[in-house]
Structure 1
Amino acid sequence: MDSKQINEASKFLSYVLRHKPHSIGLELDSDGWAEIDQLIIGSANEGRNINREMILAILTSSEKKRFAISSDGQHIRALQGHSSENVSIRLPAETPPTILYHGTATRFLKSIQQQGLISGSRHHVHLTKDKSTALAVGQRYGKPVILIIDSLKMHQDGLAFYLAENGIWLTTHVPPQYIMQEQGSSI
């Protein structure tokens, strides 16, 4: 199987496991887990040829580490990015690093200045310790800009942070006063 097939299957799994499990007749539990056999059957019913070999290839080849397999090997879930209402992955609150980064496009800056970073249809805002990851995310949406988040100050002010299994930091909202553009100016 080639990298194009793996990439397309990964995007499909992201869509199904994060946002629309019912589109293939799949049920997720409250922690986001789905039965792999049901995922394969539902995918086939939608004309998608996904099997265990492909799922394992996605897990081992992806730098983004978007998915996890249960210890018994029978279930899969997306690690974050859910918009599905019945999923509420419970992660313990953790103390974040002093700063974190968020990549976005310059066209969103005005809205961010007014509202901060909001989760939108997802459950959380995604932040990273890695500038290059933030830049790559921003490039997906247009002319990129890296935002610097004063995450430790946010935490000290009572806002909760969670660390996903793949190293992505999650929070429900980043108010504007905690955000600066990479050049060091407030947004």
Structure 2
Amino acid sequence: MSKEISKFLSLVLRHDPGKAGISLDSNGWTSIATLVAGVQKAGFPEFDRATLDAVVENNEKKRFTISEDGNMIRAAQGHSAEVDLALQPSTPPDILYHGTAFAKLASIREHGLVPGKRQQVHLSNDYETAVKVGSRHGRPIVLVVDAPRMAAEGIVFFQADNGVWLTDAVPADYLSTDQA
């Protein structure tokens, strides 16, 4: 059940809080007590704080962040719901990667990376993660992002609580691959 709960939490904390009868504040936070009650009413009557803590702790992608006081929770990144994570600009590493499906390569070469339904483009600092992400969408291809040049030219990067790098878009001329 924890995988099902994790997916539901991702849905309500990133995209559709109304599915659990909750709301997110401007920074994406909601009360854990309210979330637990909402998830129970949404069809998971056995969901409780201990289950939530286990899902947060064991989530491989570290998708959720609990506030320092332990009373609030939010998704670390990946929102389509309008929130401001209030992340500070960060200097990116020398290389960032983006995994996608090979079938999307022509469009990416024309338009660059755009956030689609999400608020920002997601990038990783390791190749293996990018391969996994790309594999979810078909035959994977990993794009290499020239992050230092982007930053030097004024494009801002942020790092989410779970280590994912975020930016508003990646123009095509900052992308390369040795796979195409």
Q: TM-score range by the shorter chain?
A: over 0.9
Q: Is the 1:127–1:168 Cα contact (8 Å) retained in structure 2?
A: yes
Q: In the alignment, does 2:35 pair up with 1:39?
A: yes
Within-5 A mapping of 1:148-167: 148-167=144-163
CA distance in 1, matches of 2:178, 2:40: 45
Runs of 4+ deviating beyond 6 Å = none
How far has the Cα of 1:63 moved from its partner?
2.2
CA distance in 1, matches of 2:2, 2:40: 16
TM-score by length of 2: 0.95
How far has the Cα of 1:182 moved from its partner?
3.8
How far has the Cα of 1:157 moved from its partner?
0.8
Aligned counterpart in structure 2 of residue 83 of structure 1, from 75, 80, 84: 80
TM-score by length of 1: 0.92
CA distance in 2, matches of 1:94, 1:47: 40
Q: Is the 1:124–1:170 Cα contact (8 Å) retained in structure 2?
A: yes
Q: Is the 1:145–1:182 Cα contact (8 Å) retained in structure 2?
A: no
Q: Is the 1:66–1:78 Cα contact (8 Å) retained in structure 2?
A: yes
Q: Name the count of aligned residue pairs.
A: 179
How far has the Cα of 1:137 moved from its partner?
0.5
Aligned counterpart in structure 2 of residue 9 of structure 1, from 5, 9, 22: 5
How far has the Cα of 1:181 moved from its partner?
1.5
Aligned counterpart in structure 2 of residue 141 of structure 1, from 137, 141, 157: 137
Aligned counterpart in structure 1 of residue 166 of structure 2, from 167, 170, 175: 170
Alpha-carbon displacement from aligned partner over 1:58-115 (angstroms, at most 9, x marks no partner): 1211221110111121111000001112x11111111111110011001111110111
Q: Is the 1:97–1:151 Cα contact (8 Å) retained in structure 2?
A: yes
Q: Which runs of 5+ in 1 are unaligned?
A: none
SS of equivalent residue, structure 2 residue 77:
coil
Alpha-carbon displacement from aligned partner over 1:130-175 (angstroms, at most 9, x marks no partner): 1111111011111111110001100111100001111111000000
Aligned counterpart in structure 2 of residue 181 of structure 1, from 155, 172, 177: 177
CA distance in 2, matches of 1:13, 1:182: 37
**Percent same amino acid at aligned positions?**
47
* Aligned amino acid, residue 149 of structure 2: K
